[in-house]
């Protein structure tokens, strides 16, 4: 029997002078829940009688004096009950094990409502109302433990507390009505199967339209009582609900929950009402028992809610205000822990082992820059300065280099790799795909061939004339033939190769560097923290340069990648053009093809990007094959059409890319493998199928594949049936060229979790924190820095709980060792 929680609450109530303020929503509810749970475990009839007498009264309706008396009665009742309990238990133990001392004492199994720190890790089945079957369904949503369930927050809340009559509805706002369905039928506005209904209450009628949900017409029958919640718009001078949330009302429980009602994520077999019911009981019982890990001083100074309150208010808020406060507290936690985590990591990494300071090798560097066919932009110059400053320190560099597609990051990386080699160290250059790795290899080799005399071919080249010894560059990928690979691996191990360019293959087993001094990682959002660590392990604490073409707003970059310093190339080389972007309606497909044909006739080339139908590479490849056949055999019969997808063998990919590059193909039909980095100046058209399925940053990347030469380039977007969000994205990409703005929009629309794939990247999940919370991001960051300055190891007593939480969060995220 858990008397602990009740005692805590009653003690608090005493302290607060019986104001009925110790539990959110009043003590009665808590008492009721507690007593329901307790009743079953009281054996003694005498106690049971006392129990019923005590717990049949309403605390809320008592006077202050009555409350005082009642609490003291309950406390003495608890004392008696516990004495009885333990007497009973110990005698039982005595009977079972008269004198066998070796065995450990029988543990009295704690009932389900005990919620000490440890039991938060219990499986959800300890929660009342969650059966094994139900726990399986929660499991599908990633909810396995009691703690997960406490943090299983609703998407949003429906405000049932302010029901409106139809006559009171106003445009724009989110509003809720309860109405009768008069009629519901399928309609086809703009050719899309949809449902239209007329509903009414005693004050009037209103039209409701659900786009793309024809099945609703069958669900809604005349005289159903229905609850609608959503925005009201004006259509031909009359109010109308467009695709509102809906719920058919059986019985009256919805109306009676006159409050903010949570909308939980669901999965097959979880019904909204059931989840709400389970969660309500659960939260009422457990939330109050969570211990707050934030140091009290910090929490008070920032005016944050206590954790138990924040959790319960995030689920079943009293009102909008506490709901917001709860979110702020929980979002702060996420950002604060994230920041502390990345900062600890950086400290750990930079201070555990010294790095290798490099000499900038001014002569080689000067020679290299002089050999380029262009002058560095001032942004490139500045960044190069920052990098060389880092490389000169004995603390290893950890720098994020951010720059638009085509801003010239590769040149900068090559300069750094060259300097590493000139210092007698090896450099690694890691790309996310084979195609990109090959392209980097080609680019680097091309640059070096201007600098010195080139020898060798294929995967291994050597350049002489500028270092005391020849500089050797190799390409290493999973696909390279075993024998060749082994030879390269051996040479890497012996220190015979200076620069290794490749894919993940570089960090895999069997690759040991002799003296890895610098690791460059391209397109980092594909890689993540873990691969970064793997690379670090490969060397003597190498300097690390991470490059990304995804412009991340500065604060966010600092927060999510607090383990990296930030450099930005914020200008493009001179003479870059804007790519004319047009979103075409489905019936303009033919004219899109005609346009491609016209450009080809003028000697240009085109990409046709195939839809992203499924996550699976196999299915995407299959779709590309089908599209390729259609295009090459029906639409562009007379043109030279090639096909590229991730399932092709390396050699085939090479051949296709080479023919496109050399102009032997007019059109390249491709899956999104061409997303990053591909550089074909003669390609002027990018036609993207099902463009609504892609994120903004991705679309921007695709668009960046063209516009790399002198000719005006075009990006055409096709979308059969875009959702509202899809349309919004297409509208934005059509009108915005600035990658930074797009990334910000993208973040707003998708949230950082999805944007960065925090799950894969080894960062803890962000659920409550939003990207629009710049102020909160900054607050969390500055507080973390402050704390770190006085107690970097979080060793002080007042930080004990925080340190534990930090360790827990980062361990759960899969890294932190």
With CB under 6 A as the contact rule, the residue among 137, 280, 409, 536 that binds ligand ADP is 409
Minimum gap (Å) between residue 703 Cβ and ligand ADP: 13
From 138, 226, 249, select the one nearest 179 (Cα to Cα). Answer: 226
**Distances from the Cα of 629 to the Cα of 351, 594, 650, 717, angstroms:** 57, 18, 21, 21
Residue 165, token pair as written in the block: 């009559």
403 binds Mg ion (CB under 5 A): no
403 binds ligand ADP (CB under 6 A): yes
Say how many C-beta atoms besides its own lie within 10 A of residue 800's C-beta: 13
Q: Which value, in Å, is the radius of gyration of the alpha carbons in the chain?
A: 32
Q: Indicate the residue whose CB is closest to Mg ion.
A: 677
Site residues for ligand ADP, window 772-801 (CB under 6 A)?
Answer: none
342 binds ligand ADP (CB under 6 A): no
410 binds ligand ADP (CB under 6 A): yes
Q: What are phi and psi of 143, to 5 degrees?
A: -100, 110
Q: Cβ contacts of residue 610 below 8 Å, gap of 6+?
A: 620, 623, 624, 627, 645, 669, 670, 671, 672, 689
Q: What DSSP element (H or E) covers 556?
A: helix 554-560
SS (H, E, C) 258-296: CCEEEECCCCCCCCHHHHHHHHHHHHHHHHHHCCCCCCH
Minimum gap (Å) between residue 347 Cβ and Mg ion: 31
Across-strand partners of 642? Answer: 668
Binding piece for ligand ADP, criterion CB under 6 A, among 68-76, 141-149, 400-408, 427-435: 400-408
Question: 675 or 692: whose CB is closer to ligand ADP?
Answer: 675
Q: 374 touches which of ligand ADP, Mg ion, none (CB within 5 to 8 A by kind)? A: ligand ADP
Q: 545 touches which of ligand ADP, Mg ion, none (CB within 5 to 8 A by kind)? A: none
Minimum gap (Å) between residue 674 Cβ and ligand ADP: 13
Q: Show the binding pattern over residues 677-696: x = contacts Mg ion (CB under 5 A), - = does not.
A: x-------------------
445 binds ligand ADP (CB under 6 A): no
Q: 407 touches which of Mg ion, ligand ADP, none (CB within 5 to 8 A by kind)? A: ligand ADP
Q: Show the binding pattern over residues 741-770: x = contacts ligand ADP (CB under 6 A), - = does not.
A: ------------------------------
Binding piece for ligand ADP, criterion CB under 6 A, among 67-75, 403-411, 427-435, 693-701: 403-411
383 binds ligand ADP (CB under 6 A): no
Q: What DSSP element (H or E) covers 433?
A: none
Residue 419, token pair as written in the block: 């300097």
235 binds ligand ADP (CB under 6 A): no
User: Under rule CB under 5 A, how many of the chain's residues touch Mg ion?
Assistant: 1
Q: 411 touches which of Mg ion, ligand ADP, none (CB within 5 to 8 A by kind)? A: ligand ADP
**Distances from the Cα of 2 to the Cα of 39, 74, 292, angstroms:** 12, 14, 20
Residue 411: helix, strand or coil by DSSP? helix
380 binds ligand ADP (CB under 6 A): yes
449 binds ligand ADP (CB under 6 A): no
CA distance 519 to 531: 11
Q: Show the binding pattern over residues 554-573: x = contacts ligand ADP (CB under 6 A), - = does not.
A: -------------------x
**Phi and psi based region of residue 639 (left: phi greater than 0; alpha: psi -120 to 50; beta: remaining):** beta
Minimum gap (Å) between residue 405 Cβ and ligand ADP: 5
With CB under 6 A as the contact rule, the residue among 114, 175, 377, 758 that binds ligand ADP is 377
Site residues for Mg ion, window 334-373 (CB under 5 A)?
Answer: none
Alpha helices for 454-553 (secondary structure H): 482-493, 529-538
Beta strand residue intervals within 541-579, DSSP E: 543-548, 565-569
Q: 679 touches which of ligand ADP, Mg ion, none (CB within 5 to 8 A by kind)? A: ligand ADP
709 binds ligand ADP (CB under 6 A): no
551 binds ligand ADP (CB under 6 A): no
Q: Show the binding pattern over residues 530-549: x = contacts ligand ADP (CB under 6 A), - = does not.
A: -------------------x
406 binds ligand ADP (CB under 6 A): yes
Residues 442, 516 contacting (CB under 8 angstroms): no
Say how many C-beta atoms besides its own lie within 10 A of residue 6's C-beta: 20
SS (H, E, C) 413-429: HHHHHHHHHHCCCEEEE
Binding piece for Mg ion, criterion CB under 5 A, among 247-255, 384-392, 672-680, 686-694: 672-680
Beta strand residue intervals within 38-152, DSSP E: none
CA distance 644 to 654: 10
Across-strand partners of 670? Answer: 609, 644
- Interaction site with Mg ion (CB under 5 A): 677
- Interaction site with ligand ADP (CB under 6 A): 374, 376-377, 380, 403, 405-411, 549, 573, 677, 679
């Amino acid at each position: 029997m858990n008397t602990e929680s009740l005692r805590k609450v009653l003690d608090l109530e005493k302290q607060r002078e019986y104001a009925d303020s110790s539990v959110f929503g009043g003590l009665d509810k808590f008492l009721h829940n507690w007593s329901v749970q307790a009743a079953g475990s009281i054996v003694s009839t005498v106690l049971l009688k006392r129990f019923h007498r005590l717990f049949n009264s309403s605390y809320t309706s008592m006077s202050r004096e009555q409350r005082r008396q009642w609490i003291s009665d309950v406390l003495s009742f608890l004392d008696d009950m516990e004495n009885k309990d333990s007497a009973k238990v110990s005698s039982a133990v005595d009977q079972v094990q008269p004198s066998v001392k070796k065995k450990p004492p029988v543990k009295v199994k704690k009932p389900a409502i005990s919620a000490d720190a440890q039991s938060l890790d219990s499986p959800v089945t300890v929660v009342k109302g969650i059966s094994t079957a139900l726990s399986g369904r929660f499991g599908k949503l990633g909810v396995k433990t009691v703690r997960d369930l406490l943090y299983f927050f609703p998407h949003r809340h429906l405000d049932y507390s302010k029901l409106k009559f139809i006559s009171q509805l106003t445009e724009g706002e989110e509003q809720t009505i309860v109405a009768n369905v008069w009629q519901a039928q399928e309609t086809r506005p703009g050719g899309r199967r949809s449902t239209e209904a007329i509903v009414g209450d005693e004050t009037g009628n209103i039209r409701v339209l659900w786009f793309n949900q024809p099945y609703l017409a069958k669900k809604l029958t005349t005289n159903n009582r229905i609850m609608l919640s959503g925005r009201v718009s004006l259509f031909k001078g009359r109010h109308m609900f467009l695709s509102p949330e809906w719920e058919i009302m059986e019985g009256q429980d919805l109306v009676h929950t006159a409050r903010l009602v949570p909308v939980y994520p669901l999965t097959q077999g979880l019904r909204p009402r059931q989840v709400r019911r389970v969660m309500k009981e659960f939260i009422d019982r457990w939330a109050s028992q969570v211990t707050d890990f934030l140091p009290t001083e910090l929490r008070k100074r920032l005016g944050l809610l206590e954790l138990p309150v924040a959790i319960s208010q995030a689920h079943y808020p009293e009102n909008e205000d506490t709901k917001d406060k709860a979110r702020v507290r929980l979002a702060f936690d996420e950002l604060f822990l994230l920041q502390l985590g990345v900062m600890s990591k950086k400290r750990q990494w930079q201070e555990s082992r010294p790095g290798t300071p490099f000499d900038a090798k001014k002569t080689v560097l000067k020679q290299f820059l002089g050999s380029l066919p262009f002058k560095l932009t001032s942004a490139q110059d500045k960044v190069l300065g920052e990098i060389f400053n880092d490389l000169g320190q004995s603390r290893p560099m950890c720098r994020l280099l951010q720059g638009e597609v085509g801003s010239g990051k590769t040149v900068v990386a090559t300069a750094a790799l060259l300097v590493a080699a000139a210092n007698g160290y090896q450099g690694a250059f890691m790309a996310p795909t084979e195609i990109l790795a090959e392209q980097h290899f080609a680019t680097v080799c091309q640059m070096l061939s201007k600098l010195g005399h080139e020898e060798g071919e294929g995967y291994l080249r050597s350049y002489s004339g500028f270092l005391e010894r020849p500089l050797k560059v190799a390409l290493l990928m999973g696909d390279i033939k075993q024998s060749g690979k082994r030879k390269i691996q051996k040479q890497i191990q012996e220190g015979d190769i200076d620069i290794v360019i490749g894919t993940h293959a570089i960090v895999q087993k069997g690759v040991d560097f002799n003296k890895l001094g610098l690791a460059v990682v391209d397109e980092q959002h594909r890689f993540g923290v873990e691969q970064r660590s793997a690379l670090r392990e490969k060397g003597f604490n190498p300097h690390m340069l991470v490059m990304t073409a995804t412009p991340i707003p500065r604060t966010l970059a600092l927060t999510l990648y607090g383990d990296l310093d930030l450099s930005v190339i914020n200008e493009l080389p001179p003479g870059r053009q804007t790519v004319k972007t047009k979103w075409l309606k489905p019936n303009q497909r033919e004219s899109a093809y005609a346009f491609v044909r016209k450009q080809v006739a003028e000697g240009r080339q085109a990409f046709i990007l195939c839809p992203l139908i499924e996550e699976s590479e196999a299915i995407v490849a299959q779709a590309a094959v089908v599209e390729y056949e259609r295009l090459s055999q029906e639409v562009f019969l007379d043109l030279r059409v090639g096909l590229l997808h991730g399932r092709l063998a390396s050699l085939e990919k090479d051949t296709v890319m080479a023919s496109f590059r050399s102009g032997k193909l007019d059109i390249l039909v491709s899956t999104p493998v061409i997303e990053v980095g591909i550089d074909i100046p003669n390609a002027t058209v990018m036609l993207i199928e099902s463009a609504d399925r892609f994120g903004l940053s991705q679309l921007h990347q695709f668009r960046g594949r063209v516009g790399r030469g002198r000719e005006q380039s075009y990006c055409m977007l096709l979308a059969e049936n875009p959702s509202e969000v899809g349309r919004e994205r297409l509208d934005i990409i059509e009108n915005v060229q600035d990658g930074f703005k797009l990334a910000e929009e993208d973040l707003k629309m998708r949230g950082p979790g999805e944007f960065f794939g925090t799950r894969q990247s080894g960062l803890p999940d962000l659920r409550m924190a939003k990207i629009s919370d710049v102020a909160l991001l900054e607050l969390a960051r500055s507080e973390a820095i402050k704390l770190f300055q006085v107690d970097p190891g979080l060793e002080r007593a007042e930080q004990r709980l925080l340190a534990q939480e930090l360790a827990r969060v980062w361990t759960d995220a899969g890294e932190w060792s």
